[in-house]
């Protein structure tokens, strides 16, 4: 029994020793593995951090620094330069063209129809090529075509205009003003005014409201030639008032712009016309009396110079040189 007990004890010790050794080995192994893993994790974390730092740095270098450069190049500097250029251009215009002209009259040329077929020429019908030649003479002489508003500002509001200023007008609103005149005005970069009869915009003999609107949008002034083209001097005050007021409203509805002037049909008017003119809010009234529009004139009686197909370049130059034949 004692011997067996001793054997058992020895075996137990060996087993415990084995267990202890196994435990020690296991502990060392786990610690080693754990340490190794930690290093790996830390390394990974470092690498990741390093990577992300680089990433951030590279983002910074890509996004922030170049952005600052882009802002400088594209947003700030060019704008400043553009503004400088704009100012320069304006100054140049002021120097070259807009010299104060406080005394001279302004020729306001009066046309009607501009026809494609030269055999249909007449007192109010000028062949297209002749018309083009006349406008070219005006342009080549260095004249600038004013808008109605610019003419009004010069005559009655003390504003300056270029010394070589002219106004081109058309009465009645013929459809050839759209088909023949409009392309020539665009080609020569010239301005003009068309006095339309508000009840006649039929698209047959006269322009349509759409054509009127298109020309107005381009910059051509569309002004009044009354509602019916009746001779104003033969109408009562009430009738005249309606002709002036209703045509003004109808045209403004089409163009969306204020109508500030009227050309009296056949150039005829009387005292009641002047009253109706003021009551319906016009700024300038044009007759067909021959002469320049001047500052000393009444705003209700402004002269024009009607031109027909008989006018060659020399005749036009005489008008520009203030020689009225």
Tell me the closest approach of the beta carbon of residue 169 to Zn ion, in angstroms. Answer: 11
Judged by CB under 5 A, the chain residues 11 through 50 that form the site for Zn ion are: none
Identify which of residues 191 and 224 has a Cβ nearer to Zn ion in the complex. Answer: 224
Phi, psi of 320 (to 5 degrees): -65, -30
Chain residue whose CB lies nearest Zn ion: 171
| Residue closest to 254 by CA, chosen among 201, 317, 312 | 201
Phi, psi of 66 (to 5 degrees): -65, -35
Identify which of residues 137 and 301 has a Cβ nearer to Zn ion in the complex. Answer: 301
Judged by CB under 5 A, the chain residues 58 through 97 that form the site for Zn ion are: none
Identify which of residues 136 and 268 has a Cβ nearer to Zn ion in the complex. Answer: 268
Tell me the closest approach of the beta carbon of residue 263 to Zn ion, in angstroms. Answer: 7
Q: What tokens were used for 276?
A: 């109706």
Alpha carbons 154 and 151: distance in angstroms, whole number: 5
Are 189 and 161 in contact, with CB atoms under 8 Å apart? no
Identify which of residues 161 and 284 has a Cβ nearer to Zn ion in the complex. Answer: 284
Alpha carbons 177 and 244: distance in angstroms, whole number: 22
What SS3 class is residue 279? helix
Tell me the closest approach of the beta carbon of residue 172 to Zn ion, in angstroms. Answer: 4
Judged by CB under 5 A, the chain residues 257 through 296 that form the site for Zn ion are: 265
Judged by CB under 5 A, the chain residues 145 through 204 that form the site for Zn ion are: 171-172
Tell me the closest approach of the beta carbon of residue 197 to Zn ion, in angstroms. Answer: 7
Phi, psi of 64 (to 5 degrees): -80, -55
The footprint of Zn ion on this chain (CB under 5 A) covers a number of residues equal to: 3
Phi, psi of 205 (to 5 degrees): -80, -30
Are 107 and 292 in contact, with CB atoms under 8 Å apart? yes
Identify which of residues 194 and 254 has a Cβ nearer to Zn ion in the complex. Answer: 194
Tell me the closest approach of the beta carbon of residue 322 to Zn ion, in angstroms. Answer: 26
Tell me the closest approach of the beta carbon of residue 196 to Zn ion, in angstroms. Answer: 10
Identify which of residues 150 and 177 has a Cβ nearer to Zn ion in the complex. Answer: 177
The number of angstroms, rounded, from the C-alpha of 235 to the middle of its chain's C-alpha atoms is 41
| Residue ranges binding Zn ion (CB under 5 A) | 171-172, 265
């Amino acid at each position: 029994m004692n011997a067996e007990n001793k054997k058992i004890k020895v075996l137990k010790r060996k087993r415990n020793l084995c267990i202890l050794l196994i435990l020690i080995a296991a502990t060392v192994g786990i610690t080693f593995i754990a340490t190794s893993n930690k290093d790996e994790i830390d390394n990974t974390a470092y690498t990741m951090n390093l990577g992300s730092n680089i990433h951030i740095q590279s983002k910074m270098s890509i996004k922030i620094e170049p952005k600052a450069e882009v802002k400088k190049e594209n947003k700030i500097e060019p704008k400043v330069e553009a503004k400088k250029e704009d100012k320069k251009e304006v100054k140049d215009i002021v120097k070259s063209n807009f010299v104060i002209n406080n005394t001279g009259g302004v020729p306001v040329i009066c046309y009607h129809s501009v026809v494609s077929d030269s055999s249909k020429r007449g007192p109010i019908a000028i062949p297209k090529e002749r018309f083009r030649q006349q406008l070219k003479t005006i342009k080549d002489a260095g004249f600038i075509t004013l808008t109605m508003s610019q003419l009004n500002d010069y005559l009655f509001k003390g504003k300056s205009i270029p010394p070589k200023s002219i106004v081109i007008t058309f009465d009645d609103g013929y459809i050839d003003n759209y088909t023949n005149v409009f392309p020539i005005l665009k080609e020569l970069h010239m301005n003009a005014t068309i006095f339309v009869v508000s009840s006649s915009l039929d698209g047959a003999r006269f322009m349509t409201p759409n054509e009127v609107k298109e020309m107005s949008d381009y910059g051509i002034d569309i002004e009044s030639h009354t509602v019916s083209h009746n001779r104003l001097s033969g109408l009562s005050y009430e009738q005249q008032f309606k002709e002036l007021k209703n045509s003004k409203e109808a045209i403004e509805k089409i163009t969306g712009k204020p109508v500030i002037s009227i050309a009296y049909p056949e150039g005829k008017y009387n005292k009641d016309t002047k009253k109706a003119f003021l009551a319906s809010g016009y700024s300038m009234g044009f007759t067909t009396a021959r002469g320049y529009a001047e500052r000393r004139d009444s705003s209700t009686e402004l002269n024009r110079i009607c031109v027909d197909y008989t006018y060659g370049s020399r005749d036009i130059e005489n008008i520009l040189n203030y020689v009225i034949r």
